[in-house]
Amino acid sequence: MAIPIAYNIRNLVVRRTTTIMTALGIALTVAVLAAALAVGAGLAKAFRATGHPNHLLLLRKGSTSELISSVPIPVFKERIKLRNGVAKSAKGEPMASPETILVVSLPSVEAPEGMNLTLRALGQVGLEMREDCRIIDGRWFQPGRREIVVGSAVAKRYPDAQIGKKITFGRGQWDVVGVFDSEQMARNSEIWGDFDQISGDFNRLETASSVLVRADDEVALEALKNELNTDVQLQVEIMTEKAYYAAQTDSADPLKFLGIFVAVIMAIGSCFAAMNTMYAAVARRSKEIGTLRILGFSKGSILLSFFVESILIAALGGLLGLLLVLPLNGVTTGVGSNLTFAEIGFELKITPPIAAAGMAFALFMGALGGLLPAGSAARKEILTALRDV
């Protein structure tokens, strides 16, 4: 004969103070774990979605990022731009874009002293190759002018990156004339300006950091990649644009590891808290256990009842933990990249898989913390239980 679950619920309500305290310990653990997973999920979404499937990124041989790469402009014009397999724009121009990557510092909401941001110098072909980008406020920069546009993530978090304001870098000030938004989320953390103007300010007219090339199709992409790889005079590192951005998710690994490590440490504490709560309940309810045995409930039923009680406390803690972390859903934040040394903005996302992982973790803690006390309750002999006060 099984003990009704209503009995367990009544006990939790009667002992609401200890129930709530134990549940809160589990809730904080679940909140930390969910937040750590949300950071990883947000960055993964930002980078893995970034890049056109037919884009190749060319860096200097041995370079791991655009920031430390250098491709001579004459090499671009003579050995890259006019290759077979390079797609053509509507105007018939080869879709190959030399681009220079620099780092500028701007004060942000979280860091008034300044944070590094990626500044990308590109031409009109580069803009055309990023057809997923659209202006949501203002307009695009014009060639030959000291104008810049900022990504939507930058505009949200940097007070100086607003239309009508000026940003100082290079040899002077630059007008912010537009805010753009891209489906490829990593791009929203960049500042863009005219290639010739920015390169001139930094005396880098003879080199670019990288070259972005669009192939006609998937077959042309592989052929072009093989052809460029076998050209020993080029000395370039070739990868797809998607692969390059996906590699930057490594930036989140230390944060994710730290969050999970803290969650595990807290989980151990929460398991002991749940165990202590259930052991105390067993001690206080000794006569109650004896009475249940007299009424005909088996040791197995009592073990199951106390185990279910622990699981209910854990489920309550899991729900509270998810409620605590839910306000973080959709919050835009940033993390420094190990490759670009600049901040990358992304949105925290509490996805259904993360919520399920948090709840499963809570139930695991409840099961671990409740198993031994439940066994202790089941092992009590009837006369011993009735004598205990």
Q: Residue 167's pLDDT band (boundaries 50, 70, 90)? A: very high
pLDDT, tens digit, 9 for 90 and up, residues 101-128: 999 989 887 777 888 899 999 999 999 9
Is pLDDT at 323 greater than 60 in this prediction? yes
Give residue 368's pLDDT. 78
Mean pLDDT of the chain: 82
For the chain, the structural domain boundaries read 5-47+251-387, 62-234
Give residue 20's pLDDT. 85
Average pLDDT, integer, range 8-24: 80
Average pLDDT, integer, range 45-51: 63
Q: What is the rounded radius of gyration, in angstroms, for the C-alpha atoms of the chain? A: 30
Cα separations in angstroms, 321 against 218, 268, 325, 360: 46, 16, 6, 12
Give me the residue label for tokens 């695991």: 364
Give residue 132's pLDDT. 86
> Of 147, 186, 162, nearest to 48 (Cα)?
186
Cα separations in angstroms, 385 against 25, 150, 278, 284, 381: 30, 72, 16, 10, 6
Is pLDDT at 58 greater than 70 in this prediction? yes
Q: Residue 372's pLDDT band (boundaries 50, 70, 90)? A: confident
Residues 6 or more apart from 70 whose CB is under 8 A from it?
60, 63, 207, 208, 209
Q: With beta carbons less than 8 A apart as the criterion, state whether 345 and 188 touch.
A: yes
Distance CA 383, CA 298 (A): 15
* Bridge partners, residue 346, by sequence: 333
Residue type, 170: G
Question: Model's pTM, two decimal places?
Answer: 0.69
